[in-house]
Amino acid sequence: MTTEPANFAENIHRVDYLTPYAEPLTDAGAYIDLALRERESLDGDWHFAIDPYDTCLRARWFEEKYVDEAGRPYPVDFSFDQWETISVPSCWNVQKELWYWYEGSAVYVRNFSFEPGPASERVFLTFDGAAYAAYVFLNGEYLGWHQGASTPFRFEVTGKVRDDNRLLVVVNNDRTPERVPMDNTDWFNYGGLHRSVNLVRLPKTFIETASVALRPDGTYSTVAVGLTLTGPDLDGQAEVTIPELNFNEILDVSGGVGIEEFDLSPELWSPDNPKLYDVYIRYGADEWHDRVGFREIRVVGQDILLNGTPLFLTGVSQHEESVANGRSLTEEEIRENFRVAREMGCRYVRLAHYPHSGLTSRIADEVGMLLWEEVPVYWAIDFANEATFADADNQLRELLLRDRNRASVIIWSVGNENADSDARLSFMSRLVATCRSLDPTRLVSAACLVDSTALVIADRLAEHLDIIGINEYYGWYEPDFSKLPRLFENSAPTKPVIISEFGADAVTGRHGGADEMFTEENQEAIYRRQVEVLGSIPYIRGTSPWILYDFRCPRRVHVLHGYYNRKGLLSPDRTQKKLAFTVMQEWYKTK
């Protein structure tokens, strides 16, 4: 048995200082489908300081110990109420030049008032996203932590909120090999409370999750409704109402679970007719409300069928980023992205490489844009690490639970550009199984690599997928373009293929010959050669070139990159179109 030396200072010498915060970890098991429930916003100005040495957690600042046991003043290394402020939601990197490249921990603090409601109410503190890990303290009490930058999480604070409250959140965006994504990516590592924070009040027993979807059986006449409850009263009846369809039916609930299929023939949702219905589910004192579109997406042979009609997915890939706001896109910026994509002829957008905000998929429902959504199982994930799998699986579950009622979302993707190893096959096939268990109404894909030696589409994961996604950069990273048609000639997939990425870098406004790299003319020429080949391959049923607009990336240090990936079809601020934009616009008119 070892003892600590008499002069051991825990907050200085403790190596495993995070161990006391390992539990509770909030995850998809505590997920609450807020849908369109009323929220009390905690957005706005928060006090903020970067904390490179994680001293808040090491020294337990949240306890706010200002005097010793005898009441004598005690020196502290923080001054919460005198710190400068930062806006929430936002990414700290774009709020101040000093913080632009900062990676590590930062501390957010705000005070808020609370007026209690009925004695039976339950109160939840909700976060729509914190990049990457968040440790949450209310009035000096540790509530728990969450990992995963882009998915929502909650803490019940019933009985913990007072008339006046202090909320403290430590957010950490360190890149580490075991995280998802890992420490090497091709995008900017934004940090912060980059999505909204709210309080939500619910009755003692409430609807925890709900799903409403058209059964994918080709009849377009059966709607499946499912729900789970939490609370003391788990047996009873729920009332399901769709006023516009004059639909009002009873759903039996036992043990907190209810699922039923109803005969119903709604007007179908599509990009040309993005019809949404208000759906209400009532149980006891609780009411869940959402706006839902009904559509069917299936694969038959090499065809993708939307509402029974073969579909070519004219699309583009897109990061969640803007020059001004980083990953905290405003509603106006999201709508502008979809507007520009639609102008190019897109009916589909691949949201890369992590879950974008829930507002994005809601707006896509409204404007009629089909979506591919994915989790950041990116490049060389630690596939043999069960903790890494648990992180990826949880992010996937939280995404599915958040967006499974969005008609716009037609594809779940479980990863991007991963080497075809045994560990990777096990890891990602298990993620596919998660998709199928939580949501059997959508297609599953992944952005795979081709066998560049044999020049053939060959990935063992394809056996588990509905659609094979392929990233290829012939004409750019592989200068020998003649390999592209040979690749397709050598391949005979039995499933539809989406070219999930292709492209080339070009600096906006840089002009020259078609063979001069980084010019708009060079990018344009590569795009013309690409679409000529892609348009001749019958099993290719969609394309999402890389990428809609240039985005920040620290690995891009060529003088012409300027810390940006320049493969965008638009400039970073989306005000200027490159020549290749017109290539895709013209080609999509033929599709």
Q: What are phi and psi of 253, to 5 degrees?
A: -125, 130
pTM flag (> 0.85): yes
Confidence band (pLDDT; 50, 70, 90) for 15?
confident
Residue 302 maps to a domain:
no
| pLDDT score recorded for residue 434 | 98
Same domain, yes or no: 291 and 314: no
Residue 5 maps to a domain:
no
In CATH, what number is assigned to the domain containing residue 423?
3.20.20.80
Distance CA 296, CA 223 (A): 11
Distance CA 184, CA 563 (A): 15
Q: Which of 104, 119, 3 is nearest to 57 (CA)?
A: 104
| pLDDT score recorded for residue 406 | 98
Contact 295, 399 (CB under 8 A): no
Burial zone of 188 (CB within 10 Å; 0-12 exposed, 13-18 middle, 19+ buried): buried
Residue 480 maps to a domain:
yes
User: How many residues are listed for the chain in this entry?
Assistant: 591
Same domain, yes or no: 49 and 188: yes
Distance CA 271, CA 290 (A): 19
Instruction: Look up residue 92 and give its two tokens.
Output: 């700290």
Same domain, yes or no: 78 and 114: yes
| Dihedral angle computed from the Cα positions of residues 555, 557, 560 and 564, in that order, rounded to the nearest 10 degrees | 40
In CATH, what number is assigned to the domain containing residue 271?
2.60.40.10
Residue 50 has pLDDT above 70, yes or no: yes
Same domain, yes or no: 265 and 338: no
Confidence band (pLDDT; 50, 70, 90) for 156?
very high
| Dihedral angle computed from the Cα positions of residues 133, 159, 55 and 86, in that order, rounded to the nearest 10 degrees | 70
Beta strands 153-156 and 85-88, pairing class:
unpaired
Which among 138, 167, 202 is the end of a domain? Answer: 202
Q: What integer is the mean pLDDT of 257-262?
A: 97
Contact 526, 505 (CB under 8 A): no
Long-range contacts: 273-276, Cβ < 8 Å, 24+? 273/368, 274/365, 274/366, 274/367, 274/368, 274/407, 274/408, 276/365, 276/366, 276/407
Residue 23 maps to a domain:
yes
Same domain, yes or no: 430 and 314: yes
Residue 61 has pLDDT above 60, yes or no: yes
Write the CA distances from 110 to 59, 65, 81, 104, 367, integer angstroms.
19, 18, 8, 20, 36
Residue 552 has pLDDT above 60, yes or no: yes
Distance CA 218, CA 220 (A): 6
Strand segments (E) across 307-454 = 309-310, 313-318, 348-351, 370-374, 409-416, 443-448
Beta strands 122-127 and 153-156, pairing class:
antiparallel
Residue 213 maps to a domain:
no
Domain containing residue 285: 219-295
Write the CA distances from 357 to 265, 399, 431, integer angstroms.
31, 10, 21
Q: What integer is the mean pLDDT of 264-286?
A: 97
Burial zone of 451 (CB within 10 Å; 0-12 exposed, 13-18 middle, 19+ buried): middle
Residue 178 maps to a domain:
yes
Same domain, yes or no: 362 and 282: no
Same domain, yes or no: 238 and 274: yes
For 157, what's the count of Cα atoms within 13 Å in the CB-facing half-sphere?
27
Amino acid at 107: V
C-alpha R_g of the chain = 25
Confidence band (pLDDT; 50, 70, 90) for 38?
very high
Beta strands 409-416 and 370-374, pairing class:
parallel
Confidence band (pLDDT; 50, 70, 90) for 4?
confident
In CATH, what number is assigned to the domain containing residue 66?
2.60.120.260
Cis, peptide link before residue 547, omega less than 30° from 0: yes
Place of tokens 């409250």: 165
Residue 271 has pLDDT above 60, yes or no: yes
| pLDDT score recorded for residue 533 | 98
Which among 231, 264, 295 is the end of a domain? Answer: 295
**Which residues are 223's β-sheet partners?**
214, 262
Tally of domains in the chain: 3
Residue 2 has pLDDT above 70, yes or no: no
Which among 295, 326, 355 is the end of a domain? Answer: 295
Query: For 354-399, how does the pLDDT look when each residue is reduced to its tens digit (9 = 90+)?
Result: 999 999 999 999 999 999 999 999 999 999 999 999 999 999 999 9
Same domain, yes or no: 322 and 251: no
Same domain, yes or no: 320 and 180: no
Residue 438 maps to a domain:
yes
Same domain, yes or no: 18 and 139: yes
Residue 139 has pLDDT above 60, yes or no: yes
Query: For 285-322, how does the pLDDT look when each residue is reduced to its tens digit (9 = 90+)?
Result: 999 999 999 999 999 999 999 999 999 999 999 999 99
Same domain, yes or no: 406 and 360: yes
| pLDDT score recorded for residue 1 | 54
Residue 6 has pLDDT above 80, yes or no: no
Residue 208 maps to a domain:
no
Contact 357, 336 (CB under 8 A): no
Strand segments (E) across 456-584 = 468-471, 497-501, 540-543, 551-552, 564-565
Same domain, yes or no: 67 and 150: yes
Residue 10 has pLDDT above 90, yes or no: no
Amino acid at 409: V
